[in-house]
Amino acid sequence: MSDASEEGRGERLIAVRDSKDPDGPKLFFSVSAWRDFLDRIKAGKHELPEDMRALLDERFVV
């Protein structure tokens, strides 16, 4: 699994993909599900390396 990902915003969905495989599969989340996911990460409910947590804080704000 790659450590690179891209996120794009649609009107009602958040699309996430591996930036090293742009033609590969994409995951789609509702805005509320994406926000809940990020809130859980920020609350420490998912274990992530500190550098990834900082990246999420600065890049993936809903």
With cut-offs at 50, 70 and 90, classify the pLDDT of residue 2.
very low
- Show me where the domains of the chain are located: 6-59
Model confidence pLDDT, tens digit, residues 17-57: 888 898 999 999 998 898 898 888 878 887 877 777 777 76
Q: Return phi, psi of residue 49, to 5°.
A: -60, 150
Model pTM score: 0.58
Distance CA 46, CA 38 (A): 10
The pLDDT of residue 10 is above 70: no
pLDDT at 23: 92
